[in-house]
Structure 1
Amino acid sequence: MTPQHFDQQLLGRRRVRAASGEPADFLLRRVAEDLADRLTLVQRQFSAIADLATPTDALREALAARGLAPVVATEAVETLAHRRATPVVVAAPDMLPFSDASRDLVVSALGLQFVDDLPGAFVQVRRALKPDGLFLAAMAGGDTLTELRQAFAEAESEVDGGLSPRVAPFADVRDIGALLQRAGFALPVTDTDRVVVRYGDVFALMRDLRAMGATNPLRDRRRVPLRRRTLLRMAEIYHDRFADPDGRIRATFQIITLSGWAPHESQQKPLKPGSAKARLADALKAIEIPAGEKPGG
């Protein structure tokens, strides 16, 4: 059975609460624009597009602005689905409502970092794609909010004598590449970007996280309120370790962008062992040393 790291019902309630207030969607919109720009560089026409679990319409709007429409989107929370500007399909991100080989493009912007069964979600995306279909997504990486994680860990060790999980364990970029391969994608590619946002203090950062609906959704979180003393000590540590000379603090958001293609016979394939027409030493203009000899002997 897949380990359950995230409390999906709690996450849904927090997203609903966040949607009723002033949004903090600057990061999502940045990621959506980046994904849409990447797609304009792909020499391909996409007619059956799915937006998987992007929290708002930001990605669909960015795609439409570049002539990539229509897009069928999914949303895990029914209440939020009814608030979308255009209709969406209510479905969890690891339960795709699409038939096999029915999409030629699946995209997702910051909708997969809270999925417990990420390998299973990738497999379902692979099945939903037509041959030579593209999967392009962006999700929060393991260095996201590293400053907040470190400050909380040190404060709780000092004040409470132990640690409580407070920041989600986001995926590592190397693991994502391996998962794409395991799911059967061809030509998998991952890259990473770090977005550093500056705040007046850590409490402004925490307000933005609440406005994103991204505060602690971990099942193993401590179920008692955070002590004021612990919170204030965390703020002190954060400022001491991660403030710039002007007093503003830094918060890192690591964005992993991943892509993979459903296999097709037209795609490039690695050469079979022994099929090379030229030697590597010749190509590099290197001096070849026979086995058993030492350089300079």
Structure 2
Amino acid sequence: MADAMQVFDRALVRCRRDRAAAGIGRVAPVLEAGAALLLDRLDDISRRFHRALDIGGRGAVAPALRARGVETVVSMDLSAPMARGAGGLPLAADEEWLPFATGSFDLVVASLSLHWVNDLPGALLQIRRAMAPDGLFLATLPALGTLQPLREALGRAETALRDGLSPRVSPFPELRDGAALLQRAGFAMPVADRDRLDLRYRSPMALIADLRAAGESNAVQARDPRVPPRAMFPLALGALPLEEGVLAMPLELLTLTGWAPAPDQPKPARRGSADARLADALGTVERKAGERAGG
């Protein structure tokens, strides 16, 4: 990939996930809650899936898929120790260079795991190619707004103590980016929507501890390599707003749903082919642009 595509330090991401693997149980409730929100979509689908790929589930996805009757679950992670503890057939591999043959899976689930990928459109294209026709893709990514109070507090503290600031929190996508990403990768019937996990912490340090335990510390290439000023983190964390002694830090979720194309899938009607008027269906009067009621 071109240098311009290198937003994240993937070697550092792997290293931090390696270190986090042994203590991932500390954040299991958060990971399991996120996976449950995503996998609830399977309960609305009548078909059964047989071969699933769990990308970066960290022990929250594979057991839930098996409980739903999926016979074969491959748990892939950038970190080998994390893959070994994920609950499926373990595979250490890079999301940016998938090692699977075309049509390998009829279900792919990526719960809170694709936000450290440099070339997300390319990764989604590879995922779609690894799916059998009419296979289902489900993913959640932290969305814009996640950790925003922490981002702002760190920015203010660093600006006050140093000449300028560096990125301390990863960039996150917006909702409007989701469906376009799926369409670009060739998925059929793409849907992007938003969800939220309302997380609350007893203290700002508990939030920082959870981020480290999940392997989610800063890995942005443009981060400042210098040791931060000693006062920066106390100043930033002390400025975070507490409500009745509790820090609210919602996890905003961008949820992606798409299907691998298949010949017998429903297709949108041709533009202009409708034989009924929307105004009739809504029981209202159709007006031209700029025309006023009663005019």
Matched, 1:149 2:123: no
Matched, 1:250 2:248: yes
Residue aligning to 1:181:
183
Residue aligning to 2:42:
39
What is the CA–CA distance in structure 1 between the aligned matches of 2:40 and 2:278, rounded to whole Å? 37
Matched, 1:261 2:259: yes
* Distance change in 2, residues 1:26/1:288 (3 Å): closer
* SS of aligned partner of 2:74: strand
* Distance change in 2, residues 1:216/1:45 (3 Å): same
What is the CA–CA distance in structure 2 between the aligned matches of 1:272 and 1:86, rounded to whole Å? 43
* Distance change in 2, residues 1:274/1:94 (3 Å): same
* Distance change in 2, residues 1:147/1:293 (3 Å): closer
* Distance change in 2, residues 1:249/1:66 (3 Å): same
Residue aligning to 2:233:
231
The question of whether the paired residues in 1 share the 8 Å contact of 2:142 and 2:254 is answered with: yes
* Distance change in 2, residues 1:38/1:284 (3 Å): closer
What is the CA–CA distance in structure 1 between the aligned matches of 2:164 and 2:5, rounded to whole Å? 23
Q: Structure 2 stretches of 5 or more lacking a match?
A: none
* Distance change in 2, residues 1:20/1:129 (3 Å): closer
> How far off its partner does 1:234 sit?
0.6
What is the CA–CA distance in structure 2 between the aligned matches of 1:272 and 1:84, rounded to whole Å? 44
One-letter amino acid of the counterpart of residue 179, structure 1? L
One-letter amino acid of the counterpart of residue 287, structure 1? V
Q: How many residues align?
A: 292
> How far off its partner does 1:251 sit?
1.3
* Distance change in 2, residues 1:273/1:177 (3 Å): closer
> How far off its partner does 1:83 sit?
5.0
The question of whether the paired residues in 2 share the 8 Å contact of 1:142 and 1:254 is answered with: yes
* SS of aligned partner of 1:130: strand
Residue aligning to 2:278:
280
What is the CA–CA distance in structure 1 between the aligned matches of 2:142 and 2:288, rounded to whole Å? 48
One-letter amino acid of the counterpart of residue 279, structure 1? R
Matched, 1:216 2:218: yes
What is the CA–CA distance in structure 2 between the aligned matches of 1:63 and 1:142, rounded to whole Å? 28
> How far off its partner does 1:102 sit?
2.4
The question of whether the paired residues in 2 share the 8 Å contact of 1:36 and 1:66 is answered with: no
The question of whether the paired residues in 1 share the 8 Å contact of 2:105 and 2:130 is answered with: yes
> How far off its partner does 1:237 sit?
1.6
> How far off its partner does 1:196 sit?
2.4
* Distance change in 2, residues 1:252/1:114 (3 Å): same
* Distance change in 2, residues 1:137/1:288 (3 Å): closer
Residue aligning to 1:64:
66
Q: Structure 1 stretches of 5 or more lacking a match?
A: none
Select the residue among 5, 20, 33 that pairs with 1:18. 20
Select the residue among 48, 51, 55 that pairs with 1:48. 51
> How far off its partner does 1:92 sit?
0.5
What is the CA–CA distance in structure 2 between the aligned matches of 1:86 and 1:268, rounded to whole Å? 32
The question of whether the paired residues in 2 share the 8 Å contact of 1:146 and 1:252 is answered with: no
TM-score normalised over the length of structure 1: 0.91
Residue aligning to 1:99:
101
> How far off its partner does 1:267 sit?
2.1
The question of whether the paired residues in 1 share the 8 Å contact of 2:63 and 2:87 is answered with: no
Identity %: 43
Q: CA RMSD in A?
A: 2.0
Residues 177-214 of structure 1, C-alpha deviations (whole Å, 9 max, x = no match): 11001111111112212222222221121111111111
* SS of aligned partner of 1:24: helix
